[in-house]
Structure 1
C-alpha cells in the first residue's frame, strides 16, 4: 500500500510538471491539489510522524489557496502553519543542541548562516514587495526556521529545508517582478523535492530510533557532521 501511494505521488508530480510546461490548466490545478495529500497518506501508511503529515496537509491547503484569486495571503498562512508543524517536530529531535551538547557550535553556524541569508534576501526584495512586505517578511522568517531546524535534524531533512527555502525564494523573486526562465517548473520541482526530503528524512530517523540504531550525523555547513 505505501509503495503504491509513493508511486502515485511521483506520477502525480510528473503529471503536474508536464502540465506546467504544456499549459494544461485543469490538469495543473488538480494534480497540484493531490500532491501533498498523497505524500501525507504515504507517510501515515508507514506510521510516520503525524506532525509532519499535518504540515503536508496544511501545505496542500496552501497549494489550493494560492490558485484562487485574492487568497494569496491565506495561502501563506497555510504554509506558515505547515512550517510551525515542521519546526515543532524538528526541535523535538534537537535536545542535545538545546542542552548545549556536542556539535552545538556547528549548529550555531547553521543558525547564523541562514539568519544572514534571510536578512540579505529581505533587504534586497523589501522595496519591491509593496503591501506584501510584512506578510512575506514574517512568513520568510518562519520558513527560515524550518531550514535551520531541519538541518539540525539530519542531512536529508536539511536538504529538504534548503530546497523549500529556494523554492519560496523563487516565488518571492516573482512577487518582486523578477521572473526567471521556466519559473513555474523550477518553483514546483524544488518544492516537490523539498517536501519529499522533509517527509522521508523525518520518517527515516524515526525508524532508526525505533530500531535502536544510531541515527546519521546531522548536516552542517561545509559538508561536516555535527555530533
Structure 2
C-alpha cells in the first residue's frame, strides 16, 4: 500500500501532519487558524490517494476523489457565509459527497449489512432515527435538508460495510461525527467539551478510513474483514 517513490511518500505524509496541526488549533481555540487549516485537509488526502493508487486508476478511486472534492466544498463554502446559509452550503457539499460515496459502494452492496448479518442494520437505523427525533423539533425550515442528509449518510454507512473493515469504520465514524454537528446545531443545551476537536477528529479519521478501504479494493487487495457471503 505504501509506495516506494520519495515524492509519493512525501505526499502521503502531508495529510496526517495537517490533521495534527488542525486538531491542535481546535484544542488551543485558535479560531483564526481553524478554517485555513481545515480547507487544506481534503486536498492533502486527495494527493495521498493519488500517490497510493495503482495505475491505471480504477472507478472506485475516481469516485473517491470526486467525494473528497465535494467534502472540500462542504469545508470551504460556508466560510464567507453565515447563519442558515452557511449551514445549507455545508450540508449541500457533504450531501453530494455522501451520494458519491454511496454510488461508489453500491457494487459491493451484497456483501454489506443490507444482505448479510442484517441485525447490524439496527445500530445504524437506531442512530439515524434518534438523531432525527432529537433534532427535528428544533430544525425549523432546515428540517427537510437535515432529514435528507441523515438518510443518505445512514445509507452510505451501511453500504460501506460491504467494502471492507476500513471503509465500514469510516462510514460509522462519519455518522458519529456528523451526528455531533447536528446535535450541537439543533438541540438546545447540548454541549460536549472540546466538541470541535471531536467532530474534526472523527471526520478526518472517517475520510482516511474510507480512502484506505477503497484503495485496498481498487488495488486488488481482498478486504478480508468485509461481511461474509
Q: TM-score range by the shorter chain?
A: 0.7 to 0.9
Q: Which of 60, 68, 73 is equivalent to 1:61?
A: 73
In structure 2, distance between residues paired with 1:140 and 1:89:
18
Q: Which of 2, 14, 18 is equivalent to 2:8?
A: 2
The TM-score, its normalising length taken from structure 2, stands at 0.85
The TM-score, its normalising length taken from structure 1, stands at 0.86
Contact 1:65 1:72 in 2 (8 A): no
Aligned-pair distance for 1:21? 1.9
For the structure 1 residues 45 and 132, does the alpha-carbon distance in structure 2 shift closer, same or farther, using more than 3 Å as the test? Answer: same
Contact 1:16 1:32 in 2 (8 A): yes
In structure 2, distance between residues paired with 1:96 and 1:199:
18
Contact 2:112 2:158 in 1 (8 A): no
Structure 1 position 13 matched with structure 2 position 19: yes
Structure 1 position 34 matched with structure 2 position 40: yes
Aligned-pair distance for 1:112? 4.5
In structure 2, distance between residues paired with 1:192 and 1:183:
14
Aligned-pair distance for 1:44? 1.8
Q: Which of 192, 195, 217 is equivalent to 2:225?
A: 217
Unaligned stretches of 5+ residues in structure 1: 219-224
Aligned-pair distance for 1:58? 0.6
Aligned-pair distance for 1:97? 6.3
1:173 alignment partner in structure 2: 183
Contact 1:168 1:187 in 2 (8 A): yes
In structure 1, distance between residues paired with 2:147 and 2:195:
21
Unaligned stretches of 5+ residues in structure 2: 1-6
Structure 1 position 81 matched with structure 2 position 96: yes
2:198 alignment partner in structure 1: 186
In structure 2, distance between residues paired with 1:97 and 1:127:
32
Root-mean-square deviation (CA, aligned residues, Å) is 2.0
2:4 alignment partner in structure 1: none
Superposed structure 1 runs of 4+ greater than 6 Å apart: none
1:44 alignment partner in structure 2: 50
